[in-house]
Amino acid sequence: MPTGGVNAPVPVAAEATPAVDPRLIVRQEGVKGYLGEFRRRLSSGELGSLPVILALIVIWAVFGSLNSSFLSAQNLSNLSQQIVGTGMIAIGVVFVLLLGEIDLSVGSVSGLCAAIYAVLEVTHGVNQWLALLCALCSGAAVGLVQGFFFARIGVPAFVVTLAGNLGWNGLMLQVLGASGTVNLSGRDIVSRLYSTVYEQQIAAYGLATAGVAVFLAASLVDSARRRVNGVPSRPVTDIALRTVLLAVVAYLAAYTLNQYKGLPLALVVFLAFIVVLDFVLRRTGYGRQVFALGGNIEGARRAGINVARIRMSVFMICSTMAAIGGLFLAAQIQSASQTSGGGNLLMNAIAAAVIGGTSLFGGRGSTWSALLGALVIGSIQSGMNIEGLSNAIQFMITGAVLLAAVVIDSLARRTQKAAGRA
């Protein structure tokens, strides 16, 4: 036993900083808590939708300064209709990206389902509702087939959907036949869904009021449920501030739409799909399983999640949304042709999901990403068309925006890993 010398200091393990719920910070510190939480989110790479919202503001400011007609009620109202087809497809892409996978067949699937609907309804005189159902079921069946090869056989999703992109495009050409083009009547259900506009001002303002009211009620119910369960919840002032901000945006949008023709039904349908599927992702067990697979597939499998079933169902949702988007795009040009689903539709749909904030690495995203991303891409195209710029310039700028979104996503993910939050 030693009798002299200096005892070496006993190393003390550093205490881990406990994670603090941001709602608790805001409740305790008020405005200071908001600022502190904002700085924390920036430093840890949790940017959320902030980059795309800032990008959208810059895009609108630039094109608005170049030509005042860009921010006119007519152009913005037309924009709200024109983004619906691509936006619908982008919603389905969001689901696949949440798994950390990709679907390269959505363009061809959209064209195929539009052709099936047009040929059945116009050429063969099938009841329009039955033709619509057949088109949607065809989309779901395509997703089931591709999901089976991916989830059960083990073929990479990239390969399966790339093959599907070619195969479904060939099937679309076969369905259209020798004529290659089938014109819609303009009186069918799909055409009416796209072209109907509610001219009464109460329609747009009523939708804005309903949206704000539902958001407020859901926030209050969630806060009350958390308090009952002893979980930190958002304070009433926080909920009130968010509701006011939403109300400003909603009523400003309603006012703009009413300055032209009114509320497009296509926009209502688009928003309905976003809200419902956002609820599915964030508030249901199925949605949590989708996020779990994208975040850590091995952990999800050990937790008892049926990985194959979730994967197949996600690809079915993606293809079904591609079918819906294809129908709206066909209604927009009043026909289904050999070019349906082609061009830059596939890239725009994927770009909309990624630009809107859905991570290419899986596990992070929202159906609202489809709306934000579609607005960015649609705004770029609309602004450049007004300025008379060529498609070449549009493609280059859209590509640059997509690259910027992916770079931001990669840097945010790296920052989160460094901060121990990924």
Structure tokens at 61: 């400011």
Cα atoms found within 13 Å of the Cα of residue 202, Cβ hemisphere only = 0
273-308 as b/e: b if 16+ CB within 10 A: bbeebbeebeeeeebebbbbbbbebeebeeeebebe
C-beta contacts of 210-218 below 8 A and 24+ residues apart: 211/246, 211/250, 211/271, 212/243, 212/246, 212/247, 212/250, 215/242, 215/243, 215/246, 216/243
Nearest-Å Rg of the Cα atoms of the chain is 24
- Measured CA to CA, the distance from residue 372 to residue 356 in angstroms comes to 5
The DSSP-derived string for 20-31 is: --HHHHHHHHTH
Strand partners, 336: 182
Domain locations in the chain?
71-196+266-407, 198-263
Residue 366, token pair as written in the block: 């929202």
The whole-angstrom separation of Cα 157 and Cα 170 is 20
User: Quick check: 243 and 215 in contact, CB under 8 A?
Assistant: yes
Per-position b or e across 33-66, b if 16+ CB within 10 A of its CB: beeebeeeeeebbbbeeebbeebbeebbeebeee
Structure tokens at 415: 């920052």
Alpha-carbon distance of 326 to 345, in angstroms, equals 10
- Is 0.75 topped by the overall pTM? yes
Q: Is 100 buried (19+), middle (13-18) or exposed (0-12) by CB count in 10 A?
A: middle
For residues 184 and 190, give the distance between their C-alpha atoms in angstroms, rounded to a whole number.
9
Q: Return the pLDDT at 2.
A: 46
CA angle 195, 384, 330 (to 5 degrees): 30
Pairwise CA distance, residues 397 & 69, whole Å: 21
Q: Helix 31-43 crosses helix 22-29 at what angle (to 10 degrees)?
A: 150
CA 115 to chain centre: 25
Residue type, 200: Q
Residue with token string 């805001």: 26
Please count the residues of the chain: 422
Q: Kindly give the interhelix angle for 345-355 and 368-387, rounded to the nearest 10 degrees.
A: 120
β-strand 181-183 against 197-198: which pairing, if any? unpaired
Please check whether residue 212 is in contact with residue 247, taking contact to mean a CB–CB distance below 8 angstroms. yes
Q: Determine how β-strand 263-264 pairs with β-strand 335-337.
A: unpaired
pLDDT tens, N- to C-terminus, the chain (422 residues): 444 444 545 444 444 444 455 545 555 555 566 666 666 666 655 666 778 888 899 999 999 999 999 999 999 999 999 999 999 999 999 999 999 999 999 999 999 999 999 999 999 999 999 999 999 999 999 999 999 999 999 999 999 999 999 999 999 999 999 888 999 988 999 999 999 999 999 999 999 999 999 999 999 998 888 888 887 777 888 889 999 999 999 999 999 999 999 999 999 999 999 999 999 999 999 999 999 999 888 888 999 999 999 999 999 999 999 999 999 999 999 999 999 999 899 999 999 999 898 988 888 899 999 999 999 999 999 999 999 988 888 888 888 888 887 887 777 777 766 665 55
Burial of 155 by CB count in 10 Å (0-12 exposed, 13-18 middle, 19+ buried)? middle
pLDDT of residue 421: 55
157: which 2 tokens?
A: 């999703």
Q: What's the confidence (pLDDT) of residue 414?
A: 76
Q: What top-level class would CATH report for the domain 71-196+266-407?
A: mainly alpha
Give the DSSP per-residue string, 236-259. HHHHHHHHHHHHHHHHHHHHHHHT
